Amino acid sequence: MSNNRADLPPLCTVPYSPYKPPHSPLVAAQRFYDIMRQRRSVRFFSDAPVSEEVIRTIVAAAGTAPSGANKQPWRFVAVRDPAVKKEIRTAAEFEEREFYDRRASPQWLADLAPLGTDWNKEYLEIAP
């Protein structure tokens, strides 16, 4: 693909190369499913330290996500300062209280009930 315009830089795309899958589509799908079914919404966190290298690698993985016009309209912020984490928790809990006390529909609250969640976000200060 080309933009065919001398006044524009060439499109930055990865060239297509014939792909030879190492497994059948079914095996590939099963392997992918085996990874994905281990994903969970996490509501409890360890306070064990996480190295900057790990954080950078995780952010690099997140940064591979597609975005409209490849604008990558995100900003990642890693917070270690306990005082800042406390501020974030306070702000988040304010919004969550609004949600639980006013914004959420009765049906939504009923659906949340079995999960045992509420406005409290203690983990925002625990997660490293």
- Nearer Cβ to ligand FMN (3/46): 46
Q: Which residues contact 13 (CB under 8 A, 6 or more apart)?
A: 1
Span 80-119, contacts to ligand FMN by CB under 6 A: 112, 115, 117
For residues 92 and 124, is the Cβ–Cβ distance under 8 A? yes
Mask 3-42, x = binds ligand FMN (CB under 6 A)?
Answer: -------------------------------------xx-
- Nearer Cβ to ligand FMN (87/111): 111
Kindly state the tokens that stand for 41. Answer: 């919404």
* Sole residue written with tokens 């591979």: 64
Cβ at position 115, least distance to ligand FMN in Å: 5
- CA–CA gap between residue 27 and residue 12 (Å, rounded): 32
**Total residues belonging to the chain:** 128
- Nearer Cβ to ligand FMN (31/103): 103
